[in-house]
């Protein structure tokens, strides 16, 4: 189960993910990410309450990164939990993103 909320503040969309970004949820996340990119140039993804991600979720984040870059904006991943961060590092995806 994944809850996604999106707050637009000027030229920044802040998207908060709560729960599990599994292979099913990745499809909903794609839609929310597209809306965020259409709403603002820059995106901050609050992942502090995201407990789970696997490869389908990582691919959704890669697509978001590509869309934000194509828009000339920046993407920041905020508050990534340690279990989740380990997967970014293991797969080499960590170098694609800016974390804070």
Sole binder of another protein in the list 24, 34, 38, 49 (CB under 8 A): 24
Q: Which is nearer to another protein, 22 or 78 (CB)?
A: 22
User: In this chain, which stretch among 5-13, 30-38, 57-65, 72-80 interacts with another protein, using CB under 8 A?
Assistant: 57-65
CB within 8 Å of 29: residues ≥ 6 apart: 2, 4, 17, 21, 57, 60
Instruction: Give every CB contact of residue 51 below 8 A, 6+ residues apart in sequence.
Output: 19, 20, 81, 83, 84
Residues at the interface with another protein (CB under 8 A): 22-24, 51-52, 54-56, 58-59, 62, 83, 87, 90-93, 95-96
């Amino acid at each position: 189960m994944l809850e996604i909320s999106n707050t637009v503040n000027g030229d920044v969309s802040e998207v908060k993910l709560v729960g599990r970004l599994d292979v099913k949820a990745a499809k909903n996340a794609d839609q929310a990410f597209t809306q965020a990119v259409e709403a603002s140039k820059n995106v901050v993804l609050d992942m502090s309450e995201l407990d789970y991600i696997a490869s389908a979720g990582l691919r959704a984040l890669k697509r978001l990164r590509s869309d934000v870059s194509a828009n000339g904006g920046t993407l920041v991943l905020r508050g990534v939990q340690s279990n989740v961060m380990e997967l970014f590092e293991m797969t080499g995806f960590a170098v694609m993103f800016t974390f804070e």
